[in-house]
Amino acid sequence: MKLMIEHSDAVQYVSEATEDGKKNHYISGIFMQSELKNKNGRIYPKQVVENQVREYQKLIEQKRAVSELGHPPTPAINLDKVSHLITEMKMDGNNVYGRARILNTPMGKIAQNLLDEGVQLGVSSRGVGTLRESNGQQFVNPDFRLTAVDIVFDPSAPDAFVNGIMESKEYLLENGVYVERLKQQVESFTKVQLDEGAILNLFKNFMNTLK
């Protein structure tokens, strides 16, 4: 399964006063789109997206639907990078509209300050899954799993360096945890480094992940 980063449109930013006089800050807008070829050349079938929106409701209800400021190099959530809590996600036609509350975390404060200063931010979905090709088009398979909708700086343009890193990584889901495949570790060695000792160490590390 490959880590997939998808860019959406810029989001709207609003502040709402609570009963005790405090303010909550929210972003809202299109979080994902289906049946449309995205900037990475992929198409998400509507049924795949609908299934993930339905599954994601469990995290929303449990108040565990957190995401980050910027994109990390893995599908896992890094609690020290969390910036917002998604409070709503629903299908409207082929689009997924979402709403998220900016949290009072270090990354949340950075996002809030940028938005307060008028910086236009956007969102990008993050997930893992496989692809299939049909008639020259790449379609996301039903095994796709949405893990986050992150806040990013420039959703209107692809980040070739980050996408290049993400696309090179593959993960396996083991005991509820995404683990990078041993294959990727082997491929990262040069021919000079890939001696008998290196292979033995890789095998030992792989066996340790299975314990």
E strand residue ranges, the chain: 2-10, 12-17, 23-33, 42-43, 66-68, 82-92, 95-102, 122-129, 131-134, 137-140, 145-152, 171-174, 177-180
Convert 79-98 to b/e letters by CB count within 10 Å (16 or more is b). Answer: eebbbbbbeebeeeeebbbb
Q: Is 7 a catalytic residue?
A: no
**Is 71 among the residues known to form the active site?**
yes
State the catalytic residue, choosing from 71, 83, 84, 125.
71
Nearest to 7 by CA among 123, 162, 91: 123
In Å, how far from its chain's centre is CA 90? 17
Helix (H, G, I), strand (E, B) or coil at 109: helix
Sheet of 66-68: strands edge to edge? 12-17, 23-33, 95-102, 82-92, 66-68
Catalytic residues: 71, 124
